[in-house]
Structure 1
């Protein structure tokens, strides 16, 4: 009997599923067992383990086999593959939105009067550079097989307006004097800045501009400001219409009297909102209060300054609502909804209306077809009624397909309502009775005044815990 066959009676060789580790284990504890380290190595190779063998371990096993009778012993270790690092875009300015946070002074008050430093660039100035991805390093299994790595993915410039990229595709430059702005889908642009040194009133008129708009005054009721970049307003906003593909910053507040609306492709930041309608694809950040308003944010609504009050109206957020105080002692009806993007809630409502309308129309079509079918069965269907019958049959088929699609989309949205893991309502100070909290498809009415609480979804219900 060969040495390998003899060792086979005593030892078992095992390999990890990732083929990076091999170990042996004795299946017979026999004090008469003996072998050399070279014989152990040959035994391992006969079981396909050829790389990363640990000679010092084999030596110890050969010298004192009894010490290893009752345990698994690692005898070979491969090298794991090292993946490359993805490439990135490095800007000449810090493009992080955090730099736009207002200054908090003593006593927790927020100072919105400090002018934000705009990211101005001159024609030909470097805007961004591409950081190359790095290659990975292949690993090696204990079997001697190569373990392939993943190389980093190269980053690509998302070219917007008024920018140029060099022939090597490694650097981006400004094509005009203006302001760097990142808009929807992370496109990089340079927009010229339109500045109004005063109010938006009859002297200025409505503004529809391809760049960033800076208004050093107020926007009065009835006027419209449209921007492909950001909108920055040093004063306040009345019942006006503001639309921006980027962010909207209002140093003063919004006193809208339920007129107009504010809509941003990214964030809306202001000191207060009263009787307003505000929509942001990302966050709504308010330092003082949101009163009797409709506020919708794709991610978060945060109202946590020194006052931090939300009372009345309807506040919707895809993920989280944070406020110091919610509701009031008069139990004013206040609705907070989190856990689904506001546009999906609107779409769901529209789909349900559409489904009801389609079903009503199909019911009328069915009644008309039944009458025509009876006429056809009696041989009393004139040519014009025959044409009507064909048209109604086609209409019914198209309506049935539209109804099926609408129902499928409703199911898809309702399934998304179940994904409420990140949805929360945080109350920093106090929440009053009269508040309704909706998380996904679940609702909870607040009856009693409660302090420092956090609401979230858990196991089919909205639970209340201590706010941390």
Structure 2
């Protein structure tokens, strides 16, 4: 439109926050014409220098009538991007509360693996601070920068048994235990894991680096493993219990010949029935041990009001003490003392291996005799020669292993001779049908005896007055 300024035809309005610009026609004549360059200059002269909407000015120039009666957005600023807050990055997902069965490699699921404890060991990294991310500044349509809002820095909420590094950016466990979030999201490491109820399909198997306390029963088929102690306010069925420390069961063990109870130190309970119990030190039972296999590195003591041992095999490195051993039915019961149970088991295994090696060497000797005869008459083929070489090498290896087996057997047998402190003490009565083994010596009890002890004296098992 020649000779007429655009500001008499249209106007540009900029929003209060300067993030938008609009064009409005004041009037419009039939002969109105305007180039894009002219319109751009007009918009810029109105203060808009950034964020012009692509194509909108061209559309206005091409068909101004379409924009005559409305306010048209012609420019938009760039909003500032808010920065991202920093956060605490844990080694475990602390928000996950859902229990789900573990998935095996073949795609099946194990419904006994329901509890995934957040175990940590002393000095292990628990969490790190992730720094906040700075925001991006924005720009108004007038070309002014819009300041961004910075993200907030995260902070550790320190609970018990945790420490920070010098930079205060990483958190570590001060002891072995369980990462736990308490009130106000404080981060703690507790050395005890408690179960308020039975260990069943709801809880699943437990594997913890500290002490486990179970206020209920442990049902058949489940496993509880602890790097500390296991304390059970209840009973144990045919489950697997494995503790590096001690195991204490307020009730008893009724295993049905399933599972095992194994402790690096002591096992203490009220009774054991049809169970398998192993202790590095002592097994302490207040009522009875019935038809069970019990092994203790030091002592098996069943000295309560009942104090009964009957059936099964009882093995102790030092002494077995009970009020009563056996019953009037002469139920077969084996009591072995004077050597650590694992050494006695090792001795049996070594003797079996020695026998197998001797049999193998005997067969090899017979084969070598035949091959030597063939070699002497020049009828040894290549494959027979290879067999001869292989058999000779196998024989040399077997001779070395046999010598090692014999030396170890002698070492264990020497410990069997050193059984002076070992013994069996019966406070009330021992019935017939009992087999007593002290070291390498064996004694069978045929008739009931009262208040008696058995110990190794002068190359045999002697019966002496009860040793309290």
User: Would you call these one fold, judging by a TM-score over 0.5?
Assistant: yes
For structure 2, the 5+ residue unaligned runs are 1-121, 124-160, 164-172, 179-188
CA deviation after TM superposition for structure 1 residue 176, in Å: 4.1
Specify the alignment match of 1:254 in structure 2. Answer: 253
Specify the alignment match of 1:131 in structure 2. Answer: none
Whether the 8 Å contact between 2:417 and 2:439 is mirrored in structure 1 is yes
Specify the alignment match of 1:335 in structure 2. Answer: 334
Deviations 1:66-101 (A, max 9, x none): xxxxxxxxxxxxxxxxxxxxxxxxxxxxxxxxxxxx
CA deviation after TM superposition for structure 1 residue 163, in Å: 10
Specify the alignment match of 2:194 in structure 1. Answer: 195
RMSD across aligned C-alpha pairs, in angstroms?
2.1
CA distance in 1, matches of 2:343, 2:162: 35
CA distance in 2, matches of 1:214, 1:315: 28
Call closer, same or farther: CA 1:427–1:208 in 2, change over 3 Å: same
Correspondence list, 1:209-224, <5 A:
209-224=208-223
Call closer, same or farther: CA 1:247–1:396 in 2, change over 3 Å: same
Specify the alignment match of 1:354 in structure 2. Answer: 353
Q: Please report the TM-score for the alignment, with normalisation by the length of structure 1.
A: 0.60
Deviations 1:422-454 (A, max 9, x none): 101011111111111111111111111111111
Call closer, same or farther: CA 1:400–1:163 in 2, change over 3 Å: farther
SS at match of 1:381: coil
Specify the alignment match of 2:455 in structure 1. Answer: 456
Whether the 8 Å contact between 1:191 and 1:212 is mirrored in structure 2 is no
Specify the alignment match of 2:386 in structure 1. Answer: 387
Whether the 8 Å contact between 2:177 and 2:209 is mirrored in structure 1 is no
CA deviation after TM superposition for structure 1 residue 196, in Å: 0.9
Deviations 1:139-191 (A, max 9, x none): xxxxxxxxxxxxxxxxxxxxxxx999xxxxxxxxx814869xxxxxxxxxx97
Return the index of the structure with the highest Cα Rg. Answer: 2
Correspondence list, 1:60-459, <5 A:
175-176=174-175, 192-459=191-458
CA deviation after TM superposition for structure 1 residue 383, in Å: 1.8
CA distance in 2, matches of 1:314, 1:429: 20
Specify the alignment match of 2:167 in structure 1. Answer: none
Name the stretch that deviates more: 376-385 or 282-291: 376-385
CA deviation after TM superposition for structure 1 residue 399, in Å: 0.5
For structure 1, the 5+ residue unaligned runs are 1-122, 125-161, 165-173, 180-189
SS at match of 1:202: coil
Give structure 1 regions of 4+ aligned residues with deviation exceeding 2 angstroms: 176-179
CA distance in 2, matches of 1:177, 1:400: 47
Call closer, same or farther: CA 1:309–1:406 in 2, change over 3 Å: same
CA deviation after TM superposition for structure 1 residue 194, in Å: 1.4
Name the stretch that deviates more: 381-390 or 346-355: 381-390
Whether the 8 Å contact between 2:177 and 2:208 is mirrored in structure 1 is no
Aligned residues: 291
Deviations 1:100-126 (A, max 9, x none): xxxxxxxxxxxxxxxxxxxxxxx99xx
SS at match of 1:395: helix
Whether the 8 Å contact between 2:176 and 2:210 is mirrored in structure 1 is no
Call closer, same or farther: CA 1:177–1:359 in 2, change over 3 Å: closer
CA distance in 2, matches of 1:316, 1:220: 26
CA distance in 1, matches of 2:437, 2:418: 13
Deviations 1:407-426 (A, max 9, x none): 11111111110001110101
Whether the 8 Å contact between 1:218 and 1:236 is mirrored in structure 2 is yes
CA distance in 2, matches of 1:305, 1:383: 73
Deviations 1:177-231 (A, max 9, x none): 869xxxxxxxxxx972111111010011111111111111000011111111111
Call closer, same or farther: CA 1:178–1:333 in 2, change over 3 Å: same
CA deviation after TM superposition for structure 1 residue 384, in Å: 2.0
Specify the alignment match of 2:64 in structure 1. Answer: none
CA distance in 2, matches of 1:281, 1:255: 21
Q: Please report the TM-score for the alignment, with normalisation by the length of structure 2.
A: 0.60
Call closer, same or farther: CA 1:224–1:365 in 2, change over 3 Å: same
CA distance in 1, matches of 2:394, 2:277: 40
CA distance in 2, matches of 1:245, 1:315: 21
